[in-house]
């Protein structure tokens, strides 16, 4: 069931997830389109998230934006594309390549005492090689060490890839097209911003094959949402994910269709990274337990990093 | 004439089926290998001999184990699907 | 029907079913025929496999003895087209190379391999094809497609350009084929136009000496409004003929199967229908596919699902959807809850081609009403046959 509507205020709105925004020319959402998008969100009872560009908007936009409860991505939620010296926002997103994440693990660790919540977003998951497993594990261990100290001293900073799984008892993923939907400045719906970027840059379209252009929208504000095969965005139609307990995984459907060509099937890379994080969370959980913290949600030991390797009798 | 005279275990059947397949493979390979390819040709000749011997010793040991009925001009056949052994004799 | 197993002929099982890796060579995309129901929409004379590509593909496969995806006790080397026997010289060279390599590498498949062909039968009696058969007789599985009576066969199976029916050119080779492969079966395809000829066609094939008739409706969305009723009527006629003339003792027709038309469970009975993704197809360009039906010449609306090539290997991410497919995940709720689901087939390639999005998880249901008609006729068949056997 849809819960969130994200409105891209401009073509150059900040990228806040795996995919970079390749669009460099400003195109501000027309005021009337913004009004219709807000109306849609109100009628569908959706929580609205505005995704901001890096420039200030005119007053008439601000007035409209403030007409409804919302979150401002790129304002309330600050997005960093490199590791900052200091984070002042309560809620931030740090977008990094895997190599940078590994190289800057100590710089990230320094930030942890400053934040309430930091979402880590890796921007090149498709390039991950099994040879990087050890390095990635080590970086997670570094961050765990600081998180443990923080917990011991009474702070509870949230680092998405390590602390979310401590609480989660079921899948809590990106939800593109299922719990979340995007409106772009052109007034069309997209499953997530990455599909809009692909369309705008003419990247080959494997999702909406009937359209020979790179059209990737799933409806528009005039005619409503028209998601083809919406059932494939649900967990129960994802054979690998529904048997998986790396509950913090983004389950990025954009990466799925890009790497496996099927929207409900995760790539080896996404599964391995999610399991390295899950297992690191387990380590953190055990250390917290040893330090006297109560554990309600025990993470079990498993022997695999990719559920594909342990799928059984499903084919 | 074809008469059911016994049955072997699936494992025993697998042994003779593998030898049977190998012998067929060797015979068909023999049609295309020439002495020009001397190493492979010698390997083939050796293998044909070894496989033939193993093949015969399977029938010898099984017939001894199960004491199948035999006939002067007859020979045994196995059904790979059912593991059944048949005695085949010329129609009189 | 265990007690009556001696009197009712069951269809042959596939060789080493489930235990053999299937490697398919698309040796040519050309064919003498232009069958009207053919799903190969992109046939052409240009895409013929070269020896260099074929050899590289064989080397690629044989170098993967330790790869779990190739860890099968047996192998079926499948040759398709177009019409594969148009490339008999290449095929002979491929098979010779495979045999030699399997032996010299001490590969486990030397003890368990087959060369498999599905041919239109037109040049079956040619000197080259016959020489090939003679050389490889013990390892061959050859199916000639003959669709039934001349009028049914020639309705669809016509020469390209001329529209002339091919029945006479195929039928003349049937005796030779059956002499060489007595247990062989033929594959009959049913589309909308030839439903009225089903009964006469199966009986005709029996008369030609073909004891096993594998027959199926095309999976594409081609059915007209009353086709299911016509189809059911034809199958009832066929059932009567098979039973009344005691043909069930020596002949089989895949339309009639004892375990058909029951509900199915999503836990215990959830397998995918076919082996797409477990098999590997290679074409003239050296590209790999999860099954031949995902090559471009088989697809109307979608881009080919290329999973790799002979140079770069296989991108295993592109195989993950296939290897995690199960019946219920790709089925509609109506299919999941269907009371007669057992035996209802699908083609993964057709599902993909007909799907609204780029997925193999959307099952095409174009065949639904035909399956239900088949189930009704099948029930009739077994009820009538049981009654007869009880009385006798």
What's the CATH number where C54 sits? 3.20.20.70
Q: Do C358 and A206 touch (CB under 8 A)?
A: yes
Q: What's the rounded Cα separation, in Å, for the pair A79 and B57?
A: 77
Task: Tell me the residues of chain A between 275 and 314 that have a Cβ less than 8 Å away from chain C.
Answer: 308, 311, 314
- Per residue in B18-74, pLDDT (tens digit) is 999 999 999 999 999 988 888 999 999 999 999 999 999 999 999 999 999 999 889
Give a yes or no: residue C178 inside a domain.
no
Residue found under tokens 């499948």? C78
Number of Cα atoms under 13 Å in the Cβ half of residue C274: 19
Best A260, A267, A311 residue to mutate vs chain C (most C CBs within 10 Å): A260
Task: Tell me the residues of chain C between 312 and 341 that have a Cβ less than 8 Å away from chain B.
Answer: none
Is the pLDDT reported for residue A202 higher than 90?
Answer: no
What is the count of residue pairs from A and C with beta carbons less than 8 Å apart? 82
pTM above threshold 0.90: yes
Q: What's the rounded Cα separation, in Å, for the pair C181 and C140?
A: 9
Domain interval for residue C117: 13-144+277-324
**Crossing angle for the helix pair A133-152 and A268-290, to the nearest 10 degrees:** 30
For range A291-306, the mean pLDDT: 94
Structural domain boundaries in chain A: 4-167
- Per residue in C75-106, pLDDT (tens digit) is 999 999 899 999 999 999 999 999 999 999 99
Q: What's the rounded Cα separation, in Å, for the pair A275 and A265?
A: 16
CA distance A236 to chain C (A): 8
Is the pLDDT reported for residue A227 higher than 50?
Answer: yes
Q: Which residues of C touch B33 (CB under 8 A)?
A: 100
Cis peptide before C314 (omega within 30 of 0): no
Best C12, C100, C133 residue to mutate vs chain B (most B CBs within 10 Å): C100
In SS3 terms, chain A reads as CCCEEEEECECCCCCCCCCCCCCCCCCECCHHHHHHHHHHHHHCCCEEEEECCCCCCCHHHHHHHCCCCEEEECCCEEEECCCCCCCCCCEEEEEECHHHHHHCHHHHHHHHHHCCEEEEEECCHHHCCHHHHHHHHHHHHHHHHHHHHHHHCCCCCEEHHHHHHHHCCCCCCCCECCCEEEECCCCEEECCHHHHHHHHCCCCCCCCCCCCCCCCCCEECCCEECCCCHHHHCHHHCCCHHHCCCCCCCCCHHHHHHHCCCCCCCCHHHHHHHHHHHHHHHHHHHHHHHCCCCCCCCCCCCCCCCHHHHCCCCC
- Per residue in C335-375, pLDDT (tens digit) is 999 999 999 999 999 999 999 999 999 999 999 999 999 99
- Where does the pLDDT of residue A210 fall: very low under 50, low under 70, confident under 90, or very high at 90 and above? low
Q: Which residues of B touch C113 (CB under 8 A)?
A: 25
- Which of C104, C111, C136 comes nearest B28 by C-beta? C136
Residues A18 and A121: beta-carbon distance below 8 Å: yes
Residue C5 has a pLDDT of 36
* Total Cβ atoms within 10 A of residue A25: 8
Q: Note the ipTM here.
A: 0.94
Best C73, C111, C113 residue to mutate vs chain B (most B CBs within 10 Å): C111
Q: Measure Cα distances from C104 to C55, C88, C98 in Å.
A: 15, 24, 10
Residue A83 has a pLDDT of 97
Is B14 in CB contact (< 8 Å) with chain C? Answer: no
* Contact: chain C with chain A (3+ CB pairs below 8 Å): yes
Is C53 strand, coil or helix?
Answer: helix
CA proximity to A182, closest of A63, A41, A28, A1: A41
* Contact: chain B with chain A (3+ CB pairs below 8 Å): no
CA distance C2 to chain B (A): 14
- Which of A208, A229, A260 comes nearest C318 by C-beta? A260
Alpha-carbon A105 to chain mean position: 20
CA proximity to C344, closest of C319, C317, C371: C371
Residue A313 has a pLDDT of 46
Pick the residue from chain C with its C-alpha nearest to A271: C317
Q: Which residues of C touch B45 (CB under 8 A)?
A: none
Q: Which residues of C touch A (CB under 8 A)?
A: 270-272, 277-278, 301-303, 305, 316-318, 320-326, 329, 355-362
Q: A236: buried, middle or exposed (CB in 10 Å: 19+, 13-18, 0-12)?
A: exposed
Residue A212 has a pLDDT of 57
Is B48 in CB contact (< 8 Å) with chain C? Answer: no
Q: Which residues of C touch A308 (CB under 8 A)?
A: 320, 323-324
Q: Which residues of C touch B31 (CB under 8 A)?
A: 135
What is the overall mean pLDDT for chain A?
94
Provide the strand spans (E) within C176-276. 185-190, 212-217, 252-253
Residue B50 has a pLDDT of 97
Residues A18 and A195: beta-carbon distance below 8 Å: no
Token pair for residue B1? Answer: 């004439």
- Among the residue ranges A49-63, A191-205, C188-202, C208-222, the one predicted with the least confidence is A191-205
Q: Do B32 and C103 touch (CB under 8 A)?
A: no
* Total Cβ atoms within 10 A of residue C246: 12
Q: What's the rounded Cα separation, in Å, for the pair A165 and A168?
A: 5
Q: Do A206 and C360 touch (CB under 8 A)?
A: no
Q: Do C103 and B43 touch (CB under 8 A)?
A: yes
CA distance A289 to chain C (A): 37
Q: Which residues of A touch C316 (CB under 8 A)?
A: 268
Q: What's the rounded Cα separation, in Å, for the pair C278 and C280?
A: 7
Is B50 in CB contact (< 8 Å) with chain C? Answer: no
Is C96 in CB contact (< 8 Å) with chain B? Answer: yes
Low-confidence ranges of chain C (pLDDT < 70): 1-13
- Where does the pLDDT of residue A205 fall: very low under 50, low under 70, confident under 90, or very high at 90 and above? low
Structural domain boundaries in chain B: 2-88
């Amino acid at each position: 069931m849809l819960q969130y509507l994200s409105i891209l205020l401009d073509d150059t709105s900040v990228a806040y997830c795996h995919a970079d925004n390749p669009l460099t020319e400003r195109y501000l959402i027309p005021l009337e389109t913004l009004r219709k998008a807000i109306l849609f969100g109100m009628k569908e009872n959706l929580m609205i998230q505005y995704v901001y560009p890096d420039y200030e908007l005119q007053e008439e936009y601000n007035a409209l934006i403030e007409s409804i409860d919302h979150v401002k991505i790129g304002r309330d939620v600050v997005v960093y594309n490199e590791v900052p010296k200091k984070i002042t926002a309560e809620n931030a997103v740090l977008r990094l390549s895997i190599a940078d994440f590994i190289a800057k693990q100590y710089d990230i660790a320094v930030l942890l005492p400053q934040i309430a919540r930091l979402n880590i977003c890796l921007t090149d998951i498709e390039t991950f090689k099994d040879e990087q497993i050890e390095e990635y594990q080590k970086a997670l261990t570094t961050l765990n060490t600081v998180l443990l100290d923080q917990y011991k001293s009474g702070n509870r900073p949230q680092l998405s890839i390590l602390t979310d799984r401590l609480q989660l008892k079921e899948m809590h993923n990106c939800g593109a097209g299922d719990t979340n939907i995007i409106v772009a400045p052109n007034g069309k719906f997209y499953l997530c911003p990455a599909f809009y970027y692909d369309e705008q840059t003419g990247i080959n379209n494997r999702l909406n094959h009937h359209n020979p252009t790179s059209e990737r929208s799933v409806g528009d504000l005039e005619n409503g949402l028209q998601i083809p095969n919406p059932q494939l965005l649900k967990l129960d139609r994802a054979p690998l994910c529904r048997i998986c307990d790396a509950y913090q995984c983004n389950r990025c459907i954009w990466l799925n269709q890009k790497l496996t060509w099927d929207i409900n099937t995760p790539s080896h890379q996404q599964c391995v990274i999610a399991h390295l994080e899950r297992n690191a969370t387990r380590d953190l959980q055990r250390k917290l337990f040893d330090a006297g913290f109560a554990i309600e949600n025990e993470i079990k030991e498993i022997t695999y990093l990719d559920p594909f390797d342990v799928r059984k009798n499903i084919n | 004439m074809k008469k059911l005279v016994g049955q072997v275990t699936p494992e025993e059947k697998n042994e003779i089926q593998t030898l049977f397949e190998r012998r067929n493979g060797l015979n068909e390979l023999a049609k295309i290998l020439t002495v020009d390819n001397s190493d492979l040709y010698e390997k083939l000749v050796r293998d044909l001999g070894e496989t033939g011997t193993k093949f015969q010793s399977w029938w010898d040991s099984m017939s001894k184990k199960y004491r199948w009925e035999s006939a002067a001009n007859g020979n045994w056949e196995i059904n790979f699907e059912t593991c059944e052994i048949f005695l085949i004799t010329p129609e009189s | 029907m265990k007690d009556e197993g001696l009197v009712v002929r069951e269809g042959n099982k596939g060789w080493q079913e489930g235990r053999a890796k299937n490697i398919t060579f698309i040796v040519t995309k050309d064919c003498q025929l232009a069958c009207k129901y053919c799903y190969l929409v992109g046939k052409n004379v240009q895409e013929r496999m070269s020896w260099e590509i074929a050899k590289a593909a064989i080397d690629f496969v044989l170098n993967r003895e330790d790869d779990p995806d190739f860890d099968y006790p047996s192998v079926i080397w499948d040759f398709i087209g177009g019409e594969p026997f148009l490339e008999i010289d290449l095929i002979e060279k491929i098979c010779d190379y495979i045999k030699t390599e399997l032996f010299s590498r001490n590969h486990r498949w030397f003890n368990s391999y087959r060369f498999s062909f599905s041919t239109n039968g037109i040049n079956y009696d040619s000197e080259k094809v016959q020489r090939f058969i003679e050389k490889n007789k013990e390892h061959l599985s050859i199916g000639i497609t003959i669709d039934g009576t001349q009028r049914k066969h020639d309705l669809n199976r016509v020469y390209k350009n001329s529209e002339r029916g091919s029945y006479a050119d195929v039928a003349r080779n049937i005796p030779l084929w059956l002499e060489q492969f007595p247990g062989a079966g033929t594959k009959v395809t049913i589309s909308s136009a030839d439903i009225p000829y089903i009964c006469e066609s199966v009986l005709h094939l029996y008369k030609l000496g073909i004891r096993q008739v594998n027959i199926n409706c095309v999976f594409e969305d081609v059915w007209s409004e009353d086709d299911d009723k016509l189809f059911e009527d034809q199958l009832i006629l066929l059932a009567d003929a098979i039973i009344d003339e005691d043909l069930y003792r020596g002949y089989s027709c895949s339309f009639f199967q004892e375990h058909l038309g029951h509900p199915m469970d999503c836990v215990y009975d959830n397998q995918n229908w076919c082996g797409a993704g477990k098999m590997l197809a290679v074409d003239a360009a050296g590209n790999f596919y999860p099954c031949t039906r995902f090559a471009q010449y088989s697809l109307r609306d979608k881009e080919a699902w290329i999973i790799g090539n002979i140079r770069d290997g296989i991108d295993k991410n592109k195989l993950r959807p296939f290897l995690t497919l199960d019946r219920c995940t790709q089925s509609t709720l109506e299919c999941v809850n269907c009371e007669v689901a057992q035996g209802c087939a699908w083609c993964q390639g057709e599902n993909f081609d007909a799907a609204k999005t780029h997925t193999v998880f959307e099952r095409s249901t174009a065949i639904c009403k035909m399956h239900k008609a088949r189930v009704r006729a099948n029930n009739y068949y077994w009820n009538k046959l049981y009654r007869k056997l009880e009385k006798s």
